Amino acid sequence: MHLITLALLPVLTQAVNVVLSNDDGWAEINIRQFYNALTGSDNSVILSAPAENESGTGSSDATPTRLSSACEFNSCPSGSPAIGNNASMPRFNYVNSYPVTSIRYGIQNLSNTYFSGPSSVDIAVAGPNVGANLGLTTQISGTVGAATEASKEGIPGLAFSGTTGSQTAWNVNPVPAYSAIYADLSTNVTTTLVASGKPYLPANIWLNVNFPPAGSGTSCTSTSQFRFVLSRINTATLISGKDVTTCGNGGRLPTEMTVVDTSSGCYASISVGHADTKLDATATEQQTVLSKLSGILSCLPS
């Protein structure tokens, strides 16, 4: 059961076409919960993700191959074709390759079956990843690789990652609280961006969203406790340009690690990056995102 009320979600004027991927594998519970939350907001979603756990593979890319062993959690048998789906849920698709390959297949191929082709894909999302993707970790994250690949193909890309959790099968019962919380928070960011109108993001820009610990055993047990803060991916250097000015920051955003590690509250970071380098965007590009997401953005406690 999702922990967020519909009143907390932005109202969309129309459903959008979404391609969903990750690097933890198509049968991991986080991506399945995200699918449920997105479709519950009336979006049309295609899940196109690796057949196996491909964490840490960055922007690797390779031609899909036939399965030499069973898919993760025995979700498809050994010897299965390189690309396949769930017979009872055909929108759940695996690609026996990397996250970049998987999300591209969803955009370029599956969109012809379920949408009206690649140009009809409105937005692409990846995750929520099992574990945070903060700072330099973005350079090797497969979840980030998938989101940035979408951006390079002209589709706004968002990467979501959560601190809590471990690799868990899609059919575990009950659903871990953190997984439901992360799915609903990810949907909130996605639908807020969509509600802001096209273009959702500037060209070649992606968003990196990270959630702090959540669920059982943490102080963040309800979606309503969370606040989003605009952040930067990496620590600024002497040659880093100024960031957008907000929350009285004097032109320097907090790092996403600072946001997620804030102890007095439940703060999630939203960073703006360039798809080609996976590094921080300019103040002008940050300002665009700040304007679009202003309804859900907060400041860190002083």
Tell me the per-residue pLDDT of 142-198, one tens digit each, with 9 for 90 and over: 999 999 999 999 999 999 999 999 999 999 999 999 999 999 999 999 999 999 999
User: What's the average model confidence in pLDDT over 275-287?
Assistant: 98
How confident is the model at residue 3, as a pLDDT?
39
Residue 4 forms part of a structural domain: no
Owning domain of residue 229? 12-292
Strands (E), the chain: 17-21, 44-50, 83-86, 89-95, 123-130, 157-162, 205-211, 226-231, 266-274
Residue 8 pLDDT more than 50? Answer: no
Residue 11 pLDDT more than 80? Answer: no
Q: 224 pLDDT band (50/70/90 cuts)?
A: very high
Residue 299 forms part of a structural domain: no
How confident is the model at residue 4, as a pLDDT?
39
What CATH number does the domain containing 126 carry? 3.40.1210.10
Q: pTM for this one?
A: 0.95
Residue 34 forms part of a structural domain: yes
Q: 284 pLDDT band (50/70/90 cuts)?
A: very high
Residue 104 forms part of a structural domain: yes
Residue 2 forms part of a structural domain: no
Give how many domains the chain has, as a whole number.
1
Residue 1 forms part of a structural domain: no
Residue 301 forms part of a structural domain: no
Pairing of β 205-211 and β 266-274:
antiparallel
